[in-house]
Amino acid sequence: MLKKIFPYLIIFLTVLILFIANYLPGTWLSGWDNLHPEFNFKLNLQREIFAGWQEYQGLGAVGGLMIAADIPRLLFLWLMSFFLPLSALRYVFTFLMLLLGGIGIKKLLRFLGNETAALSGALFYILNLGTVQIFYAPFDPFVVFFGFLPWLIYIFLNTLEKPDKKNLITFFIVNFLAIPQNYVPTIFVVYLIALSLIGIGYFFKNKTKQTIKRFFILFSLIFLINSFWLFNFFYFVKTNINSPSESHMGYMSTENIYLQNKKYGDLKNVIKLKSFLFDYADTDSSNKYVYMMTPWKNYIDKKPIEIILVTEFLVIILGIIYSFREKNKYWPSFFLLFIFSFIILANNTPIISLANDFLRNIPFFSQVFRVPFTKFGNLAIFSYSIFFAFGIAFLHGKLSKFKLEKLVIPLLIVSLVLTTLPAFFGNLIYEKLKIKIPQEYFELMNFFDKEPLGKIALFPQPSYWNWNYYSWGYVGTGFLWYGVKQPTLDRAFDGYSNINENYYWELSQAVYSKNLSLFEKILSKYQINWLVLDNNIVTNPSPKTLFNDQLKALISQSTKINYLTGFGKLEIYEVPSIPKNNFISINNNLITISPKYNWNNYDKAFEDHGDYLSSEKPEEAQIFYPFRSLFTGKKQENQEFSLEENDDYYIFKTQIPKEFSKAFIPKADDLEITEYNKNDLSKTKKLPPQVYFDETSYILSVYVPKIRGLYSYDSKTDNNFFTHQAQTCNSFTSNKYSLENIVENDQNKILLNSQDGSSCLTTNLPNLTHQLGYLISIKAKNIEGKSLLLNLINNNSKRKDIDTYLSKNNNLPTSFFVQPPMENDGLGYSLILDSISIGNMVSRNSIEEISINPIPYRFLTSIKFTKTDILNELKGKLITSLAIHNNIGFYQVELEQVNNDSIIYLSQSYNPGWIAFTNGKILDHVLVNDWANGWKIDGQTSKVTIIFWPQYLEFLGFALLAITFLSILLIKEKHE
């Protein structure tokens, strides 16, 4: 009996020791990407059951993360909460997954016929560098995948061998319990790849029709078990799959993350299961940047540890050879899994990288698996563990001839403990994730629990990144929404919603230009009921970027925003004029605006007219804004205006629909059209824009003179431009960088070169007033590697007003960026161009010219065309009505005395999945304010039902799940 339980006792004691070493009583395991349903189990369960529309995510979204998949984990945590403190739940669950994974490997190896070394495989699965990185900053889906992967493979093979009722029930239960791993849907794809490889290998040894039939049945069961979240994921793929790559976070990070992974894709690092996390920098207690994995970074590079790690890999190779020679019937399955995961991780290894590059040429694969280690690291750890056990079995057999086999387990434990020794001193979990959450956050959650449904805008919002640092230690994507029932507008949700991101661009422009009127307009446009200012948030390199004092000053001037209450450093403000009516209102007399924009940071139409309808059809619109968006904060290819230039003018062009015959041309502001002599400010000249409209082609051309002088910059006239010395903007890498002055085609150019570092060029612009808008023109060429990163630093706020890359497309020789007017009292910018390299890839970029000129920003954005000589200035009127909203994705609206031209306005992100109907008739779905849902109703309408129809796909999935389980239970023995 003792012999039987001894291996399990060793596994349990190993995990228990690690838990004791890493658990810090009284703290929460929180930070990075974290899930916290324990803040309010009931609230989060409701969200997961009605997960088709994720209402809590800012302005609402079809989420790319499948929150419904977390239901089994939530229920388990809820059960655990009756026995454990809430703060301990995530700790305990995380280490239970570590234990579950170890026991699963032991069980699987026994099934594979390797009883001798099953314990060694289990210990390796727990104690290796790859596992350390999975658990160092644990994200719950990855941890669940680690814990269940061995069990999923085991029960898959076991059911293939013997598909009886008992095994099918076990197969169902294990796959259901493992569903939380699919919170990140790409893990499901990885799981299917793993099963497919296992299945192909199995088929090599069992080439029968019965085997194919069993594959089909088991894969069908997997899809049926997962259908309740899969159907919603299919809808996301159909309607919103491009949102992650279109988001600015995605654009700015995708290539970097892949290159960071590739840097560690050489043979030396893949052998050790070492990933990009070893290069990640974070702030320490003194707010200085240090390597996040500092306790590990120096330790594993010690020669004795490196020797042990390489020896472990040699044992793995030995295991591959041994299991092949022993003709283990499962060898092809696990060898395919090993080879596949190795190729994916070894993406910087000669020859092997060719296969990886081929896979990455598939767009879906490239986007979905941009972070290979987080997706395929578990597969590598798993396959390494299997063959490590076979290698130990071989050594055990050889040593038994000399009666030394009893030394195997002690030596094994010593070597594995040595390679992961920092984990036993509290460093399996990153120390900054063991935090005490201040009580004020829970007080805030309790406060909002008593308030009606409405939207909460979180502040500060210093950047488009979804990563925040708190003075009390937290670092990550945030946590507040897990305990607050109201939707919170924060950057954590931008990656899967273009509308949420565009709100940020508009809000940012209003706040950082200190424009109170525009700020209040944005609160109205997005129907924001409360503002929460968190004074605990900190930022690097300058606290000025937070703009907290300026925001408070802005709010204090407003008659529409009231201070409500506060908890510690949390301040809550209310916007009483915004109705709290379950996001439903009725609008009359809405004007229709064209064109619709995709990205914008200044909605002139809303500023002029308030609520409006959006349309791309000229026959439906009443007003056309030719330069609706001058936003350039994203890709150059995203710009929504046409721009040409000659020596003296920038020419803004657009096509005007024939339906619009009357132009309203505003008067240009004197400051915007005045050129000041920088040597004598009394010498000025007016250079107004010239507007031309071709009545034949309907092309509108606005010639904007290139205003020079005090408020401009031209590198051609800057005697210091070609005297720059090489410098870096990142001192945290090995940093090979250089700057060269070259002549090409009789043009002087600066060449910035870097390898695993940064080579940057800074141009100071101290004279540029922030009252003006500017057009920044950069002539540059990407020669190889990453294109130039552009940062325009605001000298007042120390914030990056523009943070984006120049195009890699060298067919666009000039990149244009529009910097809108900012704060009236602001002065000075700094422009930084940075040639960044990650890993061995060289980046080379040449810069020919930089010029900056004032443009009449307000003039351009105010031009509009109408269909008549008289512009209808009638404002839309907002009316509240009874709206029943018992469940997410469902509304019943009672109407009284509405006009024929009324619109039901649902203040949630526009999505074609929203449907409104009355008396069996589906209403016309319209776009309101370029972001929200609306439906046209007439004066006879008294009741309207609004649903988000994809929600019923989840309900269908629940039904299929139940039917599948009942069907298995009803299988009769004779049909097994």
Q: Dihedral, CA atoms, 641, 645, 650, 656, nearest 10 degrees?
A: -40
Closest by Cα among 960, 962, 950, 963 to 51: 950
Question: CA–CA separation, 382 vs 485, rounded Å?
Answer: 39
Give the DSSP letter of residue 648: S
Instruction: Return the pLDDT at 350.
Output: 86
Half-sphere exposure of 150 (CA within 13 A, CB side): 30
Q: Which residues of the chain have pLDDT under 50?
A: 975-976
Structure tokens at 155: 């029960």
Q: Judge contact between 497 and 55, C-beta under 8 A.
A: no
- pLDDT digits 0-9 by tens, 427-485: 999 999 999 999 999 999 999 999 999 999 999 999 999 999 999 999 999 999 999 99
- pLDDT digits 0-9 by tens, 179-224: 999 999 999 999 999 999 999 999 988 888 999 999 999 999 999 9
The 3-state DSSP class for residue 319 equals helix
* Strand-pair category, 530-534 with 570-574: antiparallel
Instruction: Return the pLDDT at 976.
Output: 41
Instruction: Return the pLDDT at 358.
Output: 77
Structure tokens at 133: 């990185």
Q: Does residue 618 have a cis bond before it (omega within 30 degrees)?
A: no
* Strand-pair category, 591-594 with 612-614: parallel
Question: CA–CA separation, 152 vs 175, rounded Å?
Answer: 7
Backbone angles phi, psi at 257, to 5 degrees: -65, -40
Q: Judge contact between 937 and 125, C-beta under 8 A.
A: no
The 3-state DSSP class for residue 182 equals helix
Question: CA–CA separation, 647 vs 851, rounded Å?
Answer: 12
Backbone angles phi, psi at 28, to 5 degrees: -100, 145
Question: CA–CA separation, 474 vs 631, rounded Å?
Answer: 33
Q: Which helix (H) or strand (E) holds 19?
A: helix 2-22
| Distant-in-sequence, close-in-space partners of 265: CB < 8 Å, separation ≥ 6 | 345, 346, 347, 348, 349, 353, 356, 372
Give the DSSP letter of residue 64: S
Exposure string over 717-742, b if 16+ CB within 10 A, otherwise e: eeeebeebeeebbbeebeeebebeee
The 3-state DSSP class for residue 159 equals helix
Question: CA–CA separation, 279 vs 99, rounded Å?
Answer: 28
Question: CA–CA separation, 413 vs 312, rounded Å?
Answer: 12
Give the DSSP letter of residue 111: H
Centre a 10 Å sphere on the Cβ of residue 842 and count the other Cβ atoms it contains.
16
Backbone angles phi, psi at 830, to 5 degrees: -125, 130
Helices (runs of H) and strands (runs of E) counted in the chain: 28, 43
| Distant-in-sequence, close-in-space partners of 838: CB < 8 Å, separation ≥ 6 | 256, 259, 260, 262, 263, 756, 786
| Distant-in-sequence, close-in-space partners of 933: CB < 8 Å, separation ≥ 6 | 905, 906, 908, 909, 910, 911, 914, 925, 926, 927
Q: Judge contact between 531 and 561, C-beta under 8 A.
A: yes
